[in-house]
Structure 1
Amino acid sequence: MKKLKIFDLINGAALIVFSLLIVFPFIILINQSFMSNETIMSEGYTLFPKEIVFHAYNYLLVENAFIYKGLFVSVFITSVGTLFCLCFTCSLAFGLSKKHLPYRKFITIVVLITMFFSGGLIPNYLLITAMGLKDSLLSLIVPVLISPWYMFLIRNFFMEIPHEIEESAQMDGATEYYILWKIVVPISLPAIATIGLFYMVWHWNSWFPASIYLDSQSKFPLQLVLKQIISNLDVSDKGESTETLDRIMRLPEESVKAAATLITSLPIVCVYPFIQKYFVKGIVVGSIKG
């Protein structure tokens, strides 16, 4: 019993230290976003800044008001993209979970190949252009409707559901669509919520496809807008007026980067607590069912 208590104390202390190591960089990031150039130069990274200023947030949220349009675009792409990804992923996974599906093995192999081999950037660009999706928000959603890895995870989860449940529904006249969306999906909600969180984070953080497929700045997502704002801090090659150059040069570049990181992270951090219970349950169920 005494050995067990000692182990619990050591284990608890190790977990506390590990948690602090994880939280520490975020505290530094938050403090840095409220620091001035002089403070950063004199104190560097610190937990307790002597002076708190809002120059970085004023530059991002007030002087660059078009950031809110980028926020709206990111919210739209993330919500609509995640919804469509889950619908298509669950539909394909449900079909491939049926052993009686014609050409099931062939389709599975085709999907599996896409996990290891990609067509490349140029073929994807030519395909998006040929489909008429260039400079459209659909170019950020359609090419990633199904992730093979997530599809196989959901398929394996569907295959673990007892067939007697579906057979009972079929005897009552239920169609395959009804079985999928009214029976299978509610049962698999923890696993689907887990995959949905991964899709959501991917869509929210994605900026490179937008920089390739989008031409109109009004359609840029938040991440790409912030990237351009931070790039504007480099004025070495810009023909701006002396007053503008002086104002930009006084901006704390590192603070702007830290504030931009916090702005892009905050929405996901706010959403996560609402789906945490499904996320944890999905991981536990997945570990049991293999």
Structure 2
Amino acid sequence: MITNNKIFITIQYIFLAILVVMAVVPFLLLISSSFTTEQEILKNGYSLFPREITLDAYRYLLSVSDGILRAYLMSIIIAGSGVLTCLVLTILFAYPLSKQDLPGKNFFAFFLFFTMLFNGGLVPTYMVYTQLFNIKDTIFAMIVPGLLMSPFNVIMVRTYITSNVANEIVDAAKIDGAGEFRSLLSVVIPLCKPIIGTIALMSFIAYWNNWTNGIYYIQNRTDLYGIQNYLKSVLDSVNVLQSQISTQVGISAKDLPSMGIRMALAVIGVLPVLIIYPFFQKSFIKGITIGSVKG
């Protein structure tokens, strides 16, 4: 029996090691490609260990650093305000649903679950946001549509509160004179840090990687573009980049590191997520594990 357990554990470790390799190798390939010359990529393809290393892609990005810094700043503003608003709305929706004596609880729960299954579609959604709420070419167009609050997040927070916050603790706070908001701020939220960190991380990644809102709702105010939309605009204007690079950096058209620029932009786009994730890893794992145990 012990031997069988060891074999099973060994198989598990081998399987996990394969998954790790499958996750890490593409990212390493991305980084190495950003330092590879265009001729090397065209001749031998992508490689983890490039034969010819160049900094031309990053040299060009430094030459247009104003656009990158502006896009980074906008992404930080959009993601920060969006995550904060998402947390507030999610907690204020989930906390009442965790109450067994909430009047109309089944109706609100059904209303929440219904939105996970059905929506108005892309065209009606676009018309509502642009004609009714008039958020076109505003910063709200980058924050509100599709990302502001997720029913799945509400369900996770509600489940976490139900499973890990004892009613006796909240009742004790009320006996001491605390109201609902005071109990929420002083008792419930401190006990829900893992799930709050999980929702914050998931929401941040969604905002940081989002580029569809910029395409749908931003036409004239390109200064509102985040880093992902800036990356896409670069990829859509390779010919313009060729003329800019040849004049600014002094690289001939045949030596243009167009693929290297794309890879370098991808590295720059994903870098903040890689930096932030280790700080939320513990809360993320715990929040996902506990918050999804019960429905």
**1:33-87 CA distances to partner (integer Å, 9 max, x unpaired)?**
1011111122211121112111112223323531110100001111111111011
**1:150-187 CA distances to partner (integer Å, 9 max, x unpaired)?**
11111122222221111111111101111112111111
Contact 2:156 2:292 in 1 (8 A): no
How far apart are the structure 1 equivalents of 2:253 and 2:117?
Answer: 45
Q: How does 1:32-111 map to 2 (within 5 A)?
A: 32-63=33-64, 65-111=66-112
Deviation at 1:235, TM superposition (A): 5.6
Q: Which residue of 1 aligns with 2:115?
A: 114
TM-score of the two chains, using structure 1 as the length reference: 0.90
Q: Look up the equivalent residue of 1:196 and give its one-letter code.
A: A
Deviates more, 1:87-96 or 1:210-219: 210-219
Q: Which residue of 2 aligns with 1:133?
A: 135
Deviation at 1:2, TM superposition (A): 5.1
**1:251-286 CA distances to partner (integer Å, 9 max, x unpaired)?**
222212211111111000000111111112223323
Deviates more, 1:267-276 or 1:116-125: 116-125
How far apart are the structure 2 equivalents of 1:287 and 1:113?
Answer: 19
Unaligned runs of 5+ in 1: none
Contact 1:233 1:249 in 2 (8 A): no
TM-score of the two chains, using structure 2 as the length reference: 0.88
Unaligned runs of 5+ in 2: none
Q: Provide the secondary structure at the position in 1 that maps to 2:103.
A: coil
Identify the match of residue 229 of structure 1 among 234, 241, 265: 234
**1:108-142 CA distances to partner (integer Å, 9 max, x unpaired)?**
22222111112222222222222232211122223
Deviation at 1:234, TM superposition (A): 4.1
Calculate percent identity across the aligned residue pairs: 35
Distance 1:152 1:257, change over 3 A: same
Q: How does 1:1-290 map to 2 (within 5 A)?
A: 1=2, 4-63=5-64, 65-129=66-130, 130-143=132-145, 144-160=147-163, 161-214=165-218, 215-234=220-239, 250-286=255-291
Deviation at 1:9, TM superposition (A): 4.3
Distance 1:11 1:113, change over 3 A: closer
Q: Provide the secondary structure at the position in 1 that maps to 2:120.
A: coil
How far apart are the structure 1 equivalents of 2:154 and 2:269?
Answer: 27
Q: Provide the secondary structure at the position in 2 that maps to 1:53.
A: coil
Q: Look up the equivalent residue of 1:169 and give its one-letter code.
A: A
The aligned length equals 288
How far apart are the structure 2 equivalents of 1:17 and 1:119?
Answer: 41
Q: Look up the equivalent residue of 1:157 and give its one-letter code.
A: Y
How far apart are the structure 2 equivalents of 1:288 and 1:213?
Answer: 38
How far apart are the structure 2 equivalents of 1:147 and 1:287?
Answer: 15
